[in-house]
Amino acid sequence: MLTLEEALKLSPQALEEYKCELAQRVLEKSELNAYVSAPKSSGAGAPILIKDNINVKGWEITCGSQILQGYIAPYNATAIDRLHQHSMCAFGLANMDEFAMGSTSESSCYGPVKNPRDTDHVPGGSSGGCASAVAGGVAIAALGSDTGGSIRQPASYCGCVGLKPTYGRVSRYGLVAYSSSLDQIGPITQNVRDCAILLDAISGHDPKDSTSVVLEASQTFKHLDPKRALRIGVLEEALKDASVEVQKAYTDSLHILEKMGHTLVSQRIGDHKHHIAAYYILSTAEACSNLARFDGVRYGKRLKGKDLKELYIKTRSKGFGAEVKRRIMLGNFVLSSGYYEAYYLKAQRARAHIVHEYKRLFEDAEVIFAPVAPCVAPEFNAHATPLEMYLSDIYTVGVNLAGLPAISLPVAYHGKLPIGMQFIGPAFEEQRILDVAYGLEEILELEG
């Protein structure tokens, strides 16, 4: 498989030929179920796989949900326009958990996605199609979305690189909203350099998204410094929630980082379990409001009823899957009178506390090193309850609540299954986390 860096050097004609080959390969590897349909191209340029919740003009965008079947995007997301401005294009749509709610990519209306490293295991979620395709050799690179870990965790489970940008770094215009105060679009790639190239292309202020930030100097991430020595925050105590293999991968990586010349600083963060509680209250509260628009009147599928109310009920009951309905109910519950103060407001306070806690950590460290997930990719149907699945997000959701950038990269294997670790940076310090990840990737490659 070509890297993105290599693909960008091909002549337009060679690139078109390559895309034909790639489409063929996607068919041959249809067992992965990483694409929602046979791929097509949005124009000339290097092909980038797009998660099925990012609008590509004229394409049917469904967020892996029956309710959006038949919805044709009337415009491009800003991230897609930016691909076109940087000699890239959208090439195919990636399967995902319905409305990006999930950690396993088992809840799509197109069926579950498989992990290319071992097809009995999930690829992670919700950007499971993106990570499965990149790791499985059927996509050069992909754009996913990360609300609570959906780029980093599937990258970790499948063994590729995934970056969640600082909130406001990348425009959300044209990304179907799950939880607007947490969502970010970001790259899933074969290596750190490609990740920097793709992030570079999609970053920047967009007048169409008022939460996208205007930065003084125009930043580019193309020049990476693998030798940059940093003070790295180590969260040993947090490891108690991780499996033995993940713990070992973490400590082994620490030794390598130290040998590379980084300084390790031991740090403590309050109980990560509060992160999960705050995240699942705030994200569902925002989701129930964002998903209220899918009622059969304007978007996608409509089921007829004897009156408007019945039309709504039938469309939403049939159109949404079980996990999405669970979250809509949870969101309405935490916002309802009497519970609003007890849950929603309390979770907002917890969020402010988490922001503060990360600020404190960054007084002492330049980046923080943490696991991405407490275990390797589980088998299908491994979570007995939804809560069990939610708990597997323990290391990722805090980063979204604090709006920080984080990059996940593979550092070890347990049998056939990869283990990823993440570098978390202060807001808008993507350069720093890319540099340190690039250095670690280089050493790991040398060591084979």
Q: Is 126 in the site for ligand GLN (CB under 6 A)?
A: yes
Planar angle of CA 253, 434, 2, nearest 5 degrees: 95
Residue from 92, 102, 405, 425 in contact with ligand GLN (CB under 6 A): 102
Stretch that binds ligand GLN, among 87-95, 147-155, 196-204, 243-251 (CB under 6 A): 147-155
Q: Is 155 in the site for ligand GLN (CB under 6 A)?
A: no
Dihedral in degrees, nearest 10, Cα atoms 122, 127, 133, 136: -40
Q: Is 103 in the site for ligand GLN (CB under 6 A)?
A: yes
Q: Is 147 in the site for ligand GLN (CB under 6 A)?
A: yes
Question: Which one of the listed residues 65, 103, 105, 126 is annotated catalytic?
Answer: 126
Stretch that binds ligand GLN, among 81-89, 96-104, 227-235, 373-381 (CB under 6 A): 96-104
Q: What are phi and psi of 164, to 5 degrees?
A: -100, 115
Is there a catalytic annotation at residue 107?
no
**Quick one: 100 or 135, whose CB is closer to ligand GLN?**
100
Residue from 93, 101, 195, 269 in contact with ligand GLN (CB under 6 A): 101
Cβ 14 to ligand GLN, closest distance in Å?
35
* Contact status, residue 432 vs residue 366, Cβ threshold 8 Å: yes
Cβ 21 to ligand GLN, closest distance in Å?
31
Cβ 138 to ligand GLN, closest distance in Å?
22
Is there a catalytic annotation at residue 336?
no
Separation of alpha carbons 7 and 12, rounded Å:
10
DSSP-H helix ranges across 104-227: 128-135, 152-158, 192-202
Residue that is written with structure tokens 């670790």 in the block: 421
Which amino acid type is present at position 142?
A
Residue that is written with structure tokens 């300084």 in the block: 263
**Quick one: 276 or 361, whose CB is closer to ligand GLN?**
276
Question: Which one of the listed residues 19, 29, 42, 51 is annotated catalytic?
Answer: 51
* Residues 252-291, mask of contacts with ligand GLN (x by CB under 6 A): -------------------------------x--------
The 10 Å Cβ neighbour count of residue 322 is: 10
**Token reading at 12:** 């337009």
Cβ 29 to ligand GLN, closest distance in Å?
24
Q: Is 148 in the site for ligand GLN (CB under 6 A)?
A: yes
DSSP string, 290-326: HGGG-SSSSSS-----SSHHHHHHHHHHHHS-HHHHH
**Quick one: 33 or 400, whose CB is closer to ligand GLN?**
400
Cβ 100 to ligand GLN, closest distance in Å?
4
Q: Is 393 in the site for ligand GLN (CB under 6 A)?
A: yes
Is there a catalytic annotation at residue 150?
yes
Stretch that binds ligand GLN, among 100-108, 128-136, 288-296, 427-435 (CB under 6 A): 100-108
Best CA proximity match to 51, nearest among 36, 40, 38: 36
Separation of alpha carbons 43 and 197, rounded Å:
19
Q: Is 315 in the site for ligand GLN (CB under 6 A)?
A: no
The 10 Å Cβ neighbour count of residue 7 is: 23
- How would you write 217-276 as a 3-class SS string? CCCCCCCCCCCCCCEEEECHHHHHHCCHHHHHHHHHHHHHHHHCCCEEEECCCCCCHHHH
**Quick one: 283 or 431, whose CB is closer to ligand GLN?**
283
Residue from 22, 61, 80, 100 in contact with ligand GLN (CB under 6 A): 100
Instruction: Give me the residues that bind ligand GLN (CB under 6 A), please.
Output: 100-103, 126, 146-150, 178, 283, 393
Which residue numbers are catalytic? 51, 126, 150
